[in-house]
Chain A
Amino acid sequence: MSLAALEAKIEKEVTAYNQLQKEYSKIVSGRQTLESQLKENELVQTEFELLDDEATIYKMIGPVLVKQEQAEAKTNVKKRLDFIRSEINRAEKQIKDLDVKLEKKKIELMSLQTEFQKRKEAASA
Chain B
Amino acid sequence: MSKSAQPQQQSIDLTTLPLPQLQAVRQQLDEEITHLTSSYTQLKQAQAKFSACIEALGAVTPDHQDRAILVPLTNSLYVPGKLNNTERVIVDVGTGYYVDKKVEDAKAFYKRKVEFLQGNLDTLQQTIIAKQNNMRVLVEVLQYKMMLARKEAAEQQATQAGSATGTVSA
Binding site for B on A (CB under 8 A): 35, 40-41, 43-44, 47-48, 51, 55-61, 65, 73, 77, 80
Contact = CB atoms under 8 A, between A and B. Distances in A.
Contact of A55 (B95, B96, B99): B99
A60 B92 CA distance: 9
A80 B94 CA distance: 13
A47 B92 CA distance: 11
B98 A43 contact: no
Interface string B89-104: 0100111111111000
B93 A60 contact: no
Contacts of B101: 55
Contacts, number: 44
In the A-B complex, the 7 residue pairs with the smallest Cβ-Cβ separation, listed nearest first, are A56-B100, A58-B98, A60-B96, A47-B93, A44-B94, A40-B94, A44-B95
B40 interface: no
A92 B96 CA distance: 27
A55 B100 contact: yes
B57 to A, nearest CB: 17
Contacts of B95: 40-41, 44, 77, 80
A115 to B, nearest CB: 26
Contact of A57 (B94, B99, B109): B99
Given A41-B95, A59-B96, A60-B97, 17 more contacts: A40-B94, A43-B93, A44-B94, A44-B95, A47-B94, A47-B109, A51-B99, A55-B99, A55-B101, A57-B98, A58-B90, A58-B97, A58-B98, A58-B99, A59-B97, A60-B98, A61-B96
A73 B98 CA distance: 10
A60 B91 CA distance: 12
A57 B99 CA distance: 5
A96 to B, nearest CB: 16
